[in-house]
Every structure is written in structure tokens, then in C-alpha cells.
Structure 1
Amino acid sequence: MATDLIRYDLLVQDALRSVVRRVLADTARSGLPGDHHFNIAFKTQAPGVVVPAGLKNRFPDEMSIILQHEFFELVVTPEAFEVTLNFSRKSERVTVPFDAITGFTDPSVPFGFKLEPRTPDEQAAAPAAATAPRSDAKPAPPPAPAAKPDEAKAGPSAGKAAAAPDKGAEAAGAAKVVSIDAFRKK
């Protein structure tokens, strides 16, 4: 089998990250359209991730958040997004670099995909990544549904934010996950 010198796997991962970036930027500008809402899974120990210490202790590897009703001050930059969420009836600011994201779903349609978080080495070599061979690419498991913590009601335009580990039973009617490996020739 020929070596992929173009690195299609990394190009697709970057394209999927840009989907998340665009959707969140549109949401920050105009709000959530219709019944759309997002479950976003990310590595809590990835560089640039900022979450409250209690949540990082509770979810030392990975957690999921839901952007539906109770999220405030969503700010999107080219590298990350920041949002204020309610965890156990306390507002907390969360920062998630797009390179730390491991999964994105919009259960309202349903739509979703998994990502491999970029390592610091891959982040530093991003422009050269298209020419460097990679041997550690593996298919990603489907995202787990996010559980809901205690929530504070902040009025009719408020909503919910949730944190959950990546483990758990899949909910009935969960979003169909698209794996990059599904498009590779075997």
C-alpha cells in the first residue's frame, strides 16, 4: 500500500474543526437557530484548555459540554472558543482550543463526528503536516451522550450546560457518527 504523503487524514480533521469553528461563530453572532444544540467533547488536559479545577478533577481525561440554553458570552477565535456555563448552579468560564476537541454532535438533526485531538508536536508542525507520514491514525469510537449536572434556571432564554465523561451507554436515536476511516480504501 502506498504511503499517504498528502496526509488526507489531517486535512479532513482540519476541515471538521473549521466546521465547528464556523457553527460556533455563527451561534455567537446570531444565537442558536431552531432546535439546534451542540454536544462538544474535549480533552481536559490538552494545552490551552481552561476548566474549573473541580471539573478537571472529576473529568481528568475528557469531558463533554452541551450548548443549548444556559450558555453565555460565547466568544470564538481562530484557535479556540470561550463560553460561560452553569455547573452545579455556579457560572464558570470554559476555554476550549479547537485542537482539543474529540467530538461534536448536533442531536437535533442528527449530525456528528469524532476528531483526534492534535498533540503539541502536530500543532507546531501544522503547516508541514501534509508531508509528514503518520502511522498512529486509528478509527475513533462514537461519541458518548453527555449527562446533565445540577442546573440553575436563569429565565426563559436560559438553558443548560452539562459535563460528562466520554463513557456511557449510547442514547436511543443518537446522532450518526461519521468516521474518517469510513472513506479510506482498505
Structure 2
Amino acid sequence: MEKFTTLTGVAAPLPIINVDTDMIIPKQYLKTIKRTGLGSALFAEMRYDEEGNEKPDFVLNQSGYRKAQIVIAGDNFGCGSSREHAPWALLDFGIKCVISTSFADIFYNNCFKNGILPVVVTPEQLDMLLDDASRGSNATLTVDLENQTISGPDGGTIHFDIDPARKQVLLEGLDDIAMTLQKDASIAGFETKMAESRPWV
């Protein structure tokens, strides 16, 4: 998994509450178990009409936001069914950070497992960031995970809280398997002791 340290990128405003996982990646795209190729289907029902043409009023179809790496979203982002395809689609599109006032628990956990930083801010801070994000290609934010800050285009800075263990997972780029392998020596030692003390097992 790629490390997350500091991200500077365009932030796309998505001031919609209760964006569920079916809105993030509709159910018809869940047949694959690959983590790649889902970016084109991100927010598909909001991005495309029935003929597959882009809807020009959707934020990610607008020229300033086509390469957005950050989403500023309304309350309760990622609610609904527990599909890991949702963070896969965000990451494949290029979104590495989602900022909201709250997240659904399963989606929030899945973000860390896939290298996406979900940041929780206050409603007042969200309003400030949405204002920053309204500037199109000039809507550039810098998210510094080490220092736990978000800096806007005018130099204003917001501090955010994050669980230290989850922070370290992203800073080191560790998925669940990599975290387990860090304990490889201890696991091997335990297995050796078990084999000696319980050879019949």
C-alpha cells in the first residue's frame, strides 16, 4: 500500500449529506474483485446520464476538478452497505483524502485499509473548506498527516484529530498483511514453542 504523508491537490466540493456506498459505486460494478478499473464508475449515476454521457453540472465532470485528489463532502459520508469497492473506486479515480463532518464506520475503516485518509472536521471547518474548494483548479489544499493539518489556498490552517495507530498505518503504508508480517519473528517464535511443548498438535 502506498504511504500517505503529505498530499497537495485540488479539492472537489460535494456538499451532499448521506452519500452512501451505492452512490459512490453502484451495485452493477461490484462483480469484479480487482481494485483497479473502477475509477470510471465512481459516482456513475451522478456523473453520467442514461446514454453514458457526462452530466456537465456534476463536479468531477467540470474542468477544474477532473483531477481532484480530495473530496470535501457532507455529513455521514460512506453510509449504506459495506462494500470495499467504494474506497477502491475513489482511489482508482485519484481521490486520496475525503473530508467530512462524519463517516459511516465500515467505510471509515475501509479507507485506512486501502490508503485513503478520511478526515473528520467540525461543521464550521467544513464550511470553510467547501468555500476553498469552490475555486475550481485553484481549490488546492495541502493535507499534512504527520502534523495533522489542512492548509488552504489563502494560508489558513485547520488541525484535525486522528487515532495514532491509524495514522501510523497510513504513514508507513501498511495494509493488514504487512502489519501482520511485522510480527513475523514473534509468530515464528510462538510456533516453535508450541511445537516443542505440544508436539501432538
Structures share fold, TM-score greater than 0.5? no
* Larger of the two Rg values belongs to structure: 2
TM-score, normalised by the number of residues in structure 2? 0.27
Q: Which has the higher strand share?
A: 1
TM-score, normalised by the number of residues in structure 1? 0.28
